[in-house]
Chain A
Amino acid sequence: METRRAGRTWFRPSPVGVTLLVVGAVFAVLTPTFLSLNNLLNVCTSASVVAIVGLGMTLAIASGNFDLSVGSTAAFAGCITMSVIPEIGVMPAIALGIATGALVGWVNGLIVTELRVPAFIATLGMLTIVRGAALIYTRGRDIYLFGKTDYKILSSGITPALIALAIALFFGFLLKRTRFGRHILATGSNLASARRVGVRTTYVLWSVFAIVGATAALSGLILSAQVLTGNGRLATGLELSAIAVVVLGGTPLTGGQASIPGTLFGSLLVAVINNGLNLLNVSIFYQNVTLGLLLLGALSLTTGWTPKFGRVVRKESVADVANLSGIAQGGDGAKSEGGDGAKSA
């Protein structure tokens, strides 16, 4: 587990990836239709919807938080976008929907950092507030779009899968290769330490929550594009699937670590299982039980993954004080860009 080397992590065989291959192979044998192009496309699309928000959730969990309001945000953003398409056109409407999601996320961040409400409570509150707002906005009715087939592109073909992949690459790069990504991990690993090394944890958390909100909105847009309907009840329970795929992917809930490919595989695994069971005509009730068991299995695996025996006992040779070499003094002063320090975290 600890043999992580820079740059190689992306291609490490992960438990969830192996499970995915095994489960996929089983379904391929059991049902002839599973491997058909059409079916695989279906699987990819449903996996992508969860993966996109799941990727945002991965960042949130890496920063030591999570967001329960993503389902509501997805619905709200979907409704907003659908309602404004006739007036402002498809692309601006999509942008507005995503911005709405980011705004909701930023409010989550504000509640967590400024009011110091734990993320669980803060986003639970926002879950109901935003769901309510979506229903108020639509007056509880559906918003239909007729003839606006260019919006349908968002959910057709491999578009959702491409979007998910692009976001995964972007977030992976963010976490591995940017200062902002490192600051997310530091904040999630130890907030107090992060502040003390000069990380503006408040801004980091605002950004992370805004990103989660934006990904939730994007998932909501794809869902609404599938049915060309804006509905305040859309994406109920999305928050749980999103957290589930992150956990399945091996990202620990304790913060400070993240597995972007894991989240992708997790989403695929859930989609494959649902799809396969559908093809086998297993009732939806049994599918729920299967998914729950899968999640418990993954959790017990990831928490019990480290071997219990062989506690590391250090035997260190004593340092040679006399040989202590010179202290680093080289290099110029630490320069950093950006605004001034945040007041609090």
Chain B
Amino acid sequence: MPEPSVPSLLEVRNLTRRFPGVVALDDVNFDVVRGEVHALVGENGAGKSTLINILAGVLQPSEGRILIDGAPVAFSDPLGSQRCGISVIFQEFSLLPHLSVAENVFVTREPRHGPLIDWETMNRNTAEILHTLNLDIEPSTPVSKLSVSQQQLVEIARALSTKARVIIMDEPTAALNEREVVRLLEIVRSLASTGVAVIYVSHRLAEVFSVADRVTVFRDGRHISTSPRNAVTEQQVVAAMVGRKLAHLERPIRRPGELILEARELTVDDGVVRNVSFSLRRGEVLGLAGLMGSGCSELMEGLFGLRKITSGTVTLDGEPLQANHPRAAIRAGIGFVPEDRKTNGLFSDLAVTKNLTIGALPRWLKSVPAFLDPVRERQVTLEYKRQLNIRFSRPEQRVSGLSGGNQQKIILGRALAVNCRVLLLEEPTRGVDVGAKAEIYALIDELVAKGIAILLQTSELPELIRLADRCVVFVAGEARAELSGIEVTQQAVMEVATGLSHRVAIRDQSLEVANGN
């Protein structure tokens, strides 16, 4: 724990950044000391990204100062920021996929023999850094062969190789599964123990509370509070973020109706998922839990006609379901909200209206088949805007400009527009801020209360527990356990999902990380 008297390594004073028509940062003070993990939280539009971009040298402040070791600094580009010892790991990785790990770590700073790259030194130095991160990969491996979490660590390795004294991480766990998150947090802690100052930006409060020394909340471009982790509760932080209390923190009591979806001995894609059976009733949420690659997503894709069901049967309302294309699944009454909304959900450069109505065009058609009715489409869009509380200025606006939460609501709305009976939700709140998350939970509760059956896959355990009435835990393509009601706890799910042996392994690794530094 840093002493209050320790001087700040990095400090911003009275920082303001204006954009035409908007003050993105309004007279903000923020600091981080050596060896500290300082979490920065806030909703989309709170000003976090603006601050990060200013510290990264991407944007310049309109007013205010940046101090390093008490001395004012100014930089006009990312290189200047790097020279001051600041390294930013953005949410979207900036790795070059076809180059090796070592090349990525030392890109633009390659050690050289005259004009030639000194591969030996580069690989050796990289190996050393990877070792401190407890990452067991060859420096010559191409980055494209690595998992997302390994790529994240390569980003961190790059930051370390620049001898960064301040490392800023923007949503570092957005693409990681539970186990990888645990490991990353260990590494963040161990980085701090070597004297590096870490600014940790995240939506996920559970992580923030497990890793941070201090928590700072921004809202609407203003600094709201900074407090030591032990002095605040999660509820207080959320309240500070959204500016009021959030309702619906508990799972409501549900009254499931009759059986609607039943799967027996389902095998998908010749064994990605093997012999899985489950049933789902109206007005019920069944969670599918498991680590990445455990088969939950594949099972959903199988049900939706995106993968082949090689054996077993699915019945929907007593009728056999055979979907070999999403179109067939949609017609049978299945809606799907995919995990990766950018690649599999949105039409980024199309208008809000087109995104909303694309799945259900037949419903808004004129009396002559196949012709669209723009007036009706517009009405429908505004209807959904009101009902789902989607925020956009015009129905003709492109969805790429909307926040993650609003994009997600559009995809949800699209699934609802086809009047589905069963809704498959994959990571329904990924990359969505706290306020929108609460709204989406409330929305899901409402849908369930109306009798829609939901199959939910999420890697966020608190989300699973908040939403799911029952939960099937997957390990390596097989259903290992079914938990229901009060049995659904984070610990129970993790124990099954990872196997106890894994838990021991994680603990051992974290010890090594701690000792290694």
Q: Which residues of A contact B (CB under 8 A)?
A: 2-7, 176-182, 185-186, 189-190, 192-200, 254, 256-257, 309-316, 318-329, 331-337, 340-343
Q: Which of the segments B97-105, B179-187, B290-298, B437-445 contacts the partner chain?
A: B437-445
Of A3, A4, A327, A332, the contact of B450 (CB 8 Å cutoff) = A327
**Which chain B residues border A335 with CB–CB below 8 Å?**
362-363
Other CB < 8 Å A-B pairs besides A340-B324, A341-B325, 20 of them?
A: A4-B351, A5-B396, A6-B375, A176-B374, A181-B372, A192-B343, A192-B344, A196-B306, A197-B359, A198-B325, A200-B327, A309-B20, A316-B391, A319-B436, A320-B389, A331-B419, A333-B419, A334-B330, A342-B325, A343-B324
Instruction: Output the least CB separation between A203 and chain B (Å).
Output: 10
**Contact between B326 and A196, CB atoms less than 8 A apart:** yes
Contact B346 A2 (CB under 8 A): no
Q: Residues of B contacting A185 with CB < 8 Å?
A: 347, 350, 354
Query: What is the CB-to-nearest-CB distance from B45 to chain A, in angstroms, rounded to a whole number?
Result: 5
Is the Cβ of A178 less than 8 Å from the Cβ of B371?
yes
A311 and B363 within 8 A (CB): no
- Bound Cα distance from A320 to B244, whole angstroms: 10
Contact B417 A328 (CB under 8 A): yes
Contact B419 A332 (CB under 8 A): yes
Check A199 against B384 for contact (C-beta < 8 Å).
no
A254: chain B residues at CB < 8 Å are 349
The count of residues in chain B whose C-beta lies closer than 8 Å to any C-beta of chain A is 83
A325 to B447, CA, bound (A): 12
Partner-A contacts on B (CB < 8 A):
19-20, 22, 24, 43-45, 50, 220-221, 242-244, 246-248, 304-306, 323-328, 330-331, 333, 336, 338, 343-351, 354, 358-363, 365, 369-372, 374-375, 377-378, 383-384, 386-389, 391, 394, 396-398, 401, 403, 413-414, 416-419, 435-436, 438-439, 442-443, 446-447, 450
Residues from chain A with a CB closer than 8 A to the CB of B333 are 333
Q: What is the distance, in angstroms, from B434's C-beta to the closest C-beta of chain A? A: 9
Smallest beta-carbon distance B341→chain A, Å: 9
Known contacts A2-B397, A179-B361; A318/B435 CB under 8 A: yes
Inter-chain contact A198/B330, CB cutoff 8 Å: yes
Number of A-B contacts (CB under 8 A): 193
Residue of chain A at shortest CB distance from B304: A196
Interface core residue of A186, A190, A321, A323 (most chain B CB under 10 Å): A321
A325, B386: Cβ atoms closer than 8 Å: yes
Cβ contact within 8 Å between A321 and B414:
no
The one of A196, A315, A328 that contacts B384, using a Cβ cutoff of 8 Å: A328
By a CB distance below 8 angstroms, the chain A residues around B383 are 328
Of B221, B325, B344, B363, chain A has the most CB atoms within 10 Å of the CB of: B325
Report whether A321 and B247 are in contact in the complex, using a CB–CB cutoff of 8 Å.
yes
Task: Using known A-B contacts A4-B351, A177-B374, A327-B446, determine if residue A310 contacts B330 with beta carbons closer than 8 Å.
Answer: no
Chain B residues, CB < 8 A from A323: 389
20 A-B pairs with C-beta separation under 8 A: A2-B396, A6-B377, A192-B344, A193-B344, A193-B345, A199-B327, A254-B349, A315-B22, A324-B389, A324-B439, A327-B447, A329-B450, A331-B363, A331-B419, A333-B333, A334-B363, A334-B418, A334-B419, A336-B331, A340-B325
Residue on B nearest A337 in the bound complex, by CB: B369
Of B304, B328, B347, B384, which is within 8 A of A256 by CB?
Answer: B347
CA distance A178 to B306 in the complex (A): 26
CB of B131 to closest CB in A, whole Å = 39
Closest to B450 in A: A329
Cβ of A3: which chain B residues have Cβ within 8 Å of it?
Answer: 394, 396
- The CA of A176 and the CA of B19, in the complex, are separated in Å by 36
Q: How far is the CB of A335 from chain B (nearest CB, A)?
A: 5
Bound together, the chains give a CA A185 to CA B358 distance in angstroms of 10
Q: Which residues of A contact B450 (CB under 8 A)?
A: 327, 329
Choice from B19, B242, B345, B387 contacting A327 with Cβ under 8 Å: B387
A190 near B348 with CB under 8 A, answer yes
B330 touching A178, Cβ below 8 Å: no
B325 & A190 in contact (Cβ 8 Å cutoff): no
Do B22 and A319 touch (CB < 8 A)? Answer: no
Chain A residues near B397 (CB-CB < 8 A): 2
Bound form: Cα–Cα A199–B326 in Å: 8
Distance of A332 Cα from B351 Cα, bound (Å): 25
Q: Which residues of B contact A310 (CB under 8 A)?
A: 19-20
How many Å from the CB of B60 to the closest CB on chain A?
A: 13
Smallest CB-CB A-B distances: 3 pairs = A341-B325, A198-B327, A189-B347
Q: Name A331's closest neighbour in chain B (CB-CB).
A: B363
Complex: how many Å from CA A119 to CA B389? 41
Instruction: Please tell me if the beta carbons of B327 and A321 are within 8 angstroms of each other in the complex.
Output: no
Contacts of B388 in A (CB 8 A): 327
Q: How far is the CB of A3 from chain B (nearest CB, A)?
A: 7
A6 to B371, CA, bound (A): 14
Min CB gap A145→B, angstroms: 40
Central interface residue in B336, B351, B370, B403, by most chain A CB within 10 Å: B370
- Enumerate chain A residues within 8 angstroms of B391, measured Cβ to Cβ: 316, 319
Contact between B326 and A179, CB atoms less than 8 A apart: no
Bound-state Cα–Cα, A181 to B350, Å = 13
Minimum CB–CB distance from B501 to chain A (whole Å) comes to 37
Chain B residues with Cβ under 8 A from A2's Cβ? 396-398
Cβ contacts under 8 Å, A176 to chain B: 372, 374
Instruction: Let me know if B327 and A179 touch, CB within 8 A.
Output: no
| Among A177, A190, A193, A334, contact of B360 (Cβ-Cβ < 8 Å) | A334
**Is there contact, CB below 8 Å, between B372 and A319?**
no
Q: Are A313 and B419 in contact (CB under 8 A)?
A: no
Chain B nearest CB from A262 CB (Å) reads 16
Closest to B420 in A: A334
B244 and chain A: residue at smallest CB distance: A318
Contact of B246 with A321 in the complex, beta carbons under 8 Å = yes
Q: Is the CB of A196 within 8 A of B345?
A: yes
* Residues of chain B lying within 8 A (CB to CB) of residue A320: 389
**Per a CB cutoff under 8 Å, which of B44, B387, B416 touches A325?**
B387
Give A32 to B101 CA distance when docked, in angstroms: 68
